[in-house]
């Protein structure tokens, strides 16, 4: 299915809490390509109170999407950097058909196209449990789950040693809206990429390591 070779331009897609960030961190290390998460970029901007952060937070705290023109401009700048010349793994982008079309255009201008879009499937009830028990490091962004992937020392990041936080948008009412927005605006991308023949469908339930293994197998890197 994939073109093969060492360059890999990939997207990981799925509902909130599907495990995109968890899998992307592992895959980017294994494939030696940068992991670019629009959610992480926005959260860093929010922490630093930059104009982008202030603007993005108005949408994120309600579980709405940040407008396409803001997000597309940000991604265009990010994938134009040197480290993306050998590939990338986009996590959380694209999230609308307009963003997917913009990405195609940006890549086409560079003579590139996506190699694969990994779609993680996870039912809503599993998502709710994953997000309610998720904790993350405000410094390095590392993600834990209190039951399935706990830190070595309770409440503290293994890497940075600082207290973990529960994301503001992981409150139940915001999660419900994020899910609604996902099915309305992002789910159509499944068909969009299926038509292009680059969709890689993965069952996102089960052990983190098993899911990672199945993705690598499909990518021909297992
Ligand atoms: P973003 O940060 O991208 O949020 P999301 O898509 O809702 O995804 P999450 O980060 O919540 O979940 P995930 O799939 O990465 O799961 P994780 O690996 O953490 O975006 C946040 C917001 O920014 C958006 O709502 C929007 O407002 C804005 N935004 C971002 N991009 C945008 C764009 N392109 N356009 C417009 N707006 C944009 O896993 C979840 C939990 O489950 C963790 O605790 C983890 O340890 C655990 N876990 C993972 N895998 C497993 C497993 N197999 N078994 C058990 N537990 C597991």
Pocket test for ligand 1, best of 130, 131, 142, 177 (most atoms within 8 A of CB): 130
pLDDT at residue 115 in the model? 95
pLDDT at residue 53 in the model? 96
pLDDT at residue 27 in the model? 95
Known active-site residue 95: yes
Q: How many CB atoms lie within 10 A of CB 186?
A: 22
- Determine which residue's CA is closest to atom 52 belonging to ligand 1: 208
Phi, psi dihedral angles at 151 (to 5 degrees): -70, 160
pLDDT at residue 200 in the model? 97
DSSP the chain: ----SS-EEEEEE-STTSSHHHHHHHHHHHHT--EEEHHHHHHHHHHTT-HHHHHHHHHHTTTPPPPHHHHHHHHHHHHTSGGGGGEEEEES---SHHHHHHHHHHHHHTT---SEEEEEE--HHHHHHHHHTEEE-TTT--EEETTTB--SSTTB-TTT-SB-B--GGGSHHHHHHHHHHIIIIITHHHHHHHHTT-EEEEE--S-HHHHHHHHHHHTT--
How far does residue 122's CA lie from ligand 1's centre (Å)?
A: 12
Spell out the per-residue pLDDT of the chain, length 222, in tens: 455 556 699 999 999 999 999 999 999 999 999 999 999 999 999 999 999 999 999 999 999 999 999 999 999 999 999 999 989 999 999 999 999 999 999 999 999 999 999 999 999 999 999 999 999 998 888 899 999 999 999 999 999 999 999 998 999 999 999 999 999 999 999 999 999 999 999 999 999 999 999 999 999 988
- Exactly one of 167, 171, 185, 205 is catalytic; which is it? 167
**Ligand 1 pocket residue status of 146, Cβ below 6 Å:** no
- Determine which residue's CA is closest to atom 53 belonging to ligand 1: 208
pLDDT at residue 174 in the model? 95
Residue 144 to residues 24, 32, 119: CA-CA distances in angstroms? 14, 22, 21
pLDDT at residue 2 in the model? 55
pTM: 0.95
**Ligand 1 pocket residue status of 141, Cβ below 6 Å:** no
Closest of 43, 76, 80, 44 to residue 169, by C-alpha: 43
């Amino acid at each position: 299915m994939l073109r093969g070779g060492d360059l890999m331009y990939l997207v990981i897609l799925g509902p909130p809490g599907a495990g995109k960030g968890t899998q992307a961190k592992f895959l980017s290390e294994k494939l030696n390509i940068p992991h670019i998460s629009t959610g992480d970029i926005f959260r860093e901007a929010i922490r630093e109170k930059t104009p982008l952060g202030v603007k993005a937070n108005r949408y994120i705290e309600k579980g709405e999407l940040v407008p396409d023109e803001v997000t597309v401009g940000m991604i265009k700048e990010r994938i134009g950097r040197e480290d993306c010349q050998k590939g990338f793994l986009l996590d959380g982008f694209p999230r609308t058909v307009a963003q997917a079309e913009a990405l195609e255009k940006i890549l086409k201008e560079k003579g590139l196209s996506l190699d694969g879009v990994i779609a993680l499937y996870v039912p809503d009830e599993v998502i709710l449990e994953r997000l309610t028990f998720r904790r993350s490091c405000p410094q390095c962004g590392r993600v834990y789950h209190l039951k399935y992937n706990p830190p070595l020392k309770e409440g503290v990041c293994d890497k940075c040693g600082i207290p973990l936080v529960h994301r503001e948008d992981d409150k139940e009412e915001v999660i419900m809206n994020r899910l609604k927005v996902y099915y309305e605006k992002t789910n159509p991308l499944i068909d969009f990429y299926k038509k292009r023949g680059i969709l890689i469908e993965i069952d996102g339930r089960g052990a983190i390591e098993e899911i990672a293994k199945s993705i690598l197998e499909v990518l021909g890197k297992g």
